[in-house]
Chains A and B, each alone.
Chain A
Amino acid sequence: MVLTGEVLQATLEHLLLAYAALAAGILVAAPLIFFSLYSAKLASLIMKFSNLVQAIPSFAVVALVVPLIGIGFTPAVIAIMLRVLLPIIKNTYIGLFNVDPALIESSKGIGLSEFQIIRHVRLPNAYPAIFAGIKFAAILANSIAVLTALIGGGGLGSIIFEGLTNFNTSKVLAGTLPVIGIALFLDFSFSRIERWLTPEYLQK
């Protein structure tokens, strides 16, 4: 019973950690994307930075945060956030800029302003890609949230590492099974929302 309570507590912590990081990632990505729509320089800088973070192993990102910000919940959130920034930004970019040039051209030709083209042409075109990015980011956040237990982020990772150190298989399972469960749940629920959000014209 004690274990059940502990697992439940850790699961909630884990979800809070992953979702706080995901939300932070979206909040940080949005203005970056918005401003880089107007500046090619900023756009390339941001892409380079997020590619760089992607190249660094997740574990290293988590470790790097410690000497810079310390340990605990907030540094853990920041570490995960840095890691999930890339899929969100990259997918949004792909969505916004992989628009048929003829579409942009004709929209400009009929008298849409730059902003109206972003609002009425680029953004609607990007929704599916943005959502795919967020879905991937959510699953990534869930898995990295396990690692951040090492820097005091709490969550299911703590139980897993504890189990590993003590060769306690049931404890390892008590930690890993909920993580797998969350991952499956995320995938399932996001797929449902995705279908719900996908514009009618793309549904076959």
Chain B
Amino acid sequence: MVSRKPFDRIDSCRLEKVTKKYGDRFAVKNLNLEIQGGELLILIGRSGSGKTTALRMINRLIEPDSGSISVNGIDVREFDPILLRRNIGYVIQNIGLLPHLRVSENIGLILKLESWKEEKIRERVKYLLNLVSLPPQIFMERYPHELSGGQQQRVGLARAMAMDPPLFLMDEPFGALDPLLRSQLQDEFCKIKKELGRTIVFVTHDINEAFRLGDRIAVMNNAELVQVGTPEELIFSPANDLVAEIVDSKRKYRHIDALKVRDIMQPLEKRYILYPGMSAASALDYMVKVGLEVALVFWNPENTGRVYLNDVLNAVSSGKSLEEAAKPLPLFSPEISLLEALARLKAEGESMGLVLEADKPAGILFSDRVLENLI
């Protein structure tokens, strides 16, 4: 069989007015959802909310009754389903390794069907096993039943990556593992994800997993999409009570009211601060030498700003001073409430603010780090 890849990269994957009915019951109802290239989108909801059905329509394991699903603007129905699926990594909770095949044969099965040479397959299998932290010399010749649950799931992941697909569909891949192992695999998965930079649609019912892995989260209920947004958006402005309940904003983040900026801010290292009197040129030298992408310019509490390396570069070439190049950024006292500070950041469209203590820079507040620190 000649290998024809339907797509090499994902710019977008769009579900438009997708509906699927089983009998009288809607499994998915009028779903509109866009998955952006390179992101990890979480589909979360209770069982029966339609998240798995939505996922399985993307690689045509289920065909929608109406509506369309497209990858890079091309309807998936125009692709041969077999070729489509080989170009989309698929990992499910039950893994589904073939019990009569060794680990290497399981991972290499599709490659073999794609008429790869034996040697090339072995090479690829070794690479993939290393990627999922299973030493090939130990694991290649084993049978699935000789592996632990976590190891099997790693092999499942390696198998899904065999054809180097640009898109992954994952259906509760870590759901059957014990909590400790789950969080370890999630960590490793994050690393792999960063390394490979793939587009991933990930089904789960575990909100902590969703927060941990997801760039954006789509909440589904009763076959319909309720809200889609970043973890922060869901927590701080849930669309309805259900979302609030799912993200558990009441219980888990109740204490957020009591938090102060001091609790969450990142300590500011001295090297990030540029002091007055510095010329744009020497600031550039300094930033390049120390390896800074961004720095703070601090004269006094009334004159504080942030410069990116690019700004300094522009300032040097246009003869501006460092002070002119700096953009003002919100200032906070460490004692004000976190929610108030976050609201101000949001209102000003900023992602970071400077925390001043006794008129001296003490720390930085990143809005997108707030969640990380809370979970």
B96 engages A107 (CB within 8 Å): yes
Interface 0/1 of A107-121, CB less than 8 Å to B: 111111100100011
A184-200 interface code vs B (CB 8 A; 1 in, 0 out): 00000000000000011
Q: Which residues of B contact A109 (CB under 8 A)?
A: 59, 61, 85, 90, 92, 96, 169
CB pair B100–A199 under 8 Å, yes or no, is yes
Known contacts A102-B92, A105-B92; decide if A124 and B98 are in contact (CB<8 Å): yes
> Main secondary structure on chain A at its contact with chain B?
helix
Q: Does B278 contact A (CB under 8 A)?
A: no
A105 with B98: CB separation less than 8 A: no
Residues of B within 8 A of A158 (CB): none
**Chain A residues, CB < 8 A from B86:** 110-111
Alpha-carbon separation in the docked complex, A111 to B165 (Å): 12
A111 near B100 (CB under 8 angstroms)? no
Q: How many angstroms between the C-alpha atoms of A108 and B86 in the bound complex?
A: 10
Inter-subunit contact B100/A105 (CB<8 Å): no
> Total number of A-B contacts with CB less than 8 angstroms?
65
User: Is A110 touching B159 in the complex (CB atoms < 8 A)?
Assistant: yes
Q: Taking the complex as formed, is A125 at the interface, i.e. its CB lies under 8 A from any CB of chain B?
A: yes
Q: Check: B83 CB closer than 8 A to any chain A CB.
A: yes
Task: Check if A103 is an interface residue, CB within 8 A of chain B.
Answer: yes
Asked if A201 is at the interface of the complex by the 8 Å CB criterion, the answer is yes
Residue A39 lies at the interface, judged by CB distance under 8 Å to chain B: no
Instruction: Give chain A interface residues in 112-155, CB to chain B under 8 Å.
Output: 112-113, 116, 120-121, 124-125
A110-B100 contact, Cβ under 8 Å, with A102-B94, A120-B109, A200-B143: no
Measured CA separation A108–B90 after assembly (Å): 10
Contacts of A105 in B (CB 8 A): 61, 92, 94, 96
Given contacts A106-B90, A116-B113, A201-B143, whether A111 and B82 have CB atoms under 8 Å apart is yes
Complexed CA–CA distance, A100 and B98 (Å): 10
B90 to chain A: closest residue by CB: A109
Contact A112 B99 (CB under 8 A): no
Query: Is B110 on the interface with A (CB-CB < 8 A)?
Result: yes
* Nearest A residue to B169, CB-CB: A109
The interface residues of chain B lying within 8 Å CB-to-CB of A102 are: 92, 94-96
| B71: chain A residues within 8 A (beta carbon) | none
Considering the complex, give the chain A residue whose CB is closest to the CB of B163.
A111
B160 at the interface (CB under 8 A from A): yes
Q: Is the CB of B98 within 8 A of A110?
A: no
Interface size on A, residues (CB 8 A): 20
CB-nearest residue of chain B relative to A103?
B96
B85-144 residues at the A interface, CB under 8 angstroms? 85-87, 90, 92, 94-96, 98-100, 109-110, 113, 143-144
Contact of A107 with B61 in the complex, beta carbons under 8 Å: no
Does chain A have a CB within 8 A of B145?
Answer: yes
Q: Which residues does chain B contribute within 8 Å of A103, judged by CB atoms? A: 94, 96, 98
> Quick one: which of A113, A120, A200 contacts B82, CB cutoff 8 A?
A113
A120 to B85, Cβ gap below 8 A? no
Cβ B83 vs Cβ A111 within 8 A: yes
Complexed CA–CA distance, A103 and B169 (Å): 16
CA distance A105 to B98 in the complex (A): 12
CB–CB A201/B82 < 8 A: no
A157 to B113, CA, bound (A): 52
Name A116's closest neighbour in chain B (CB-CB).
B113
Chain B residues, Cβ within 8 Å of A100: 94, 96
- Taking the nearest CB of chain A, how far is it from the CB of B122, in angstroms? 19
List A contacts of B110 (CB < 8 A).
Answer: 110-112
User: Do A201 and B94 touch (CB < 8 A)?
Assistant: no
CB–CB B100/A124 < 8 A: yes
Q: Given the complex, which residues of B lie within 8 Å of A120, measured CB to CB?
A: 98, 109
Contact of B94 among A106, A121, A200 (CB under 8 A): A106
CB-nearest residue of chain B to A121: B98
Bound CA–CA A201/B147 (angstroms): 12
* Alpha-carbon distance between A127 and B357 when the two chains are bound, in angstroms: 75
Q: Is A201 touching B90 in the complex (CB atoms < 8 A)?
A: no
- 19 A-B pairs within 8 Å (CB atoms) are namely A100-B94, A102-B92, A105-B94, A106-B92, A106-B94, A106-B95, A108-B61, A109-B96, A109-B169, A110-B85, A110-B110, A110-B159, A111-B83, A111-B85, A111-B163, A120-B98, A124-B100, A200-B143, A201-B100
Supply 5 further A-B pairs (C-beta < 8 A) apart from A100-B94, A107-B96, A109-B92: A103-B94, A105-B92, A106-B156, A110-B90, A113-B82
Q: Which residues of A contact B (CB under 8 A)?
A: 100, 102-103, 105-113, 116, 120-121, 124-125, 199-201
Name the 10 nearest CB pairs between A and B, nearest first: A106-B96, A111-B86, A102-B94, A109-B90, A111-B85, A124-B100, A201-B143, A199-B100, A103-B96, A102-B96
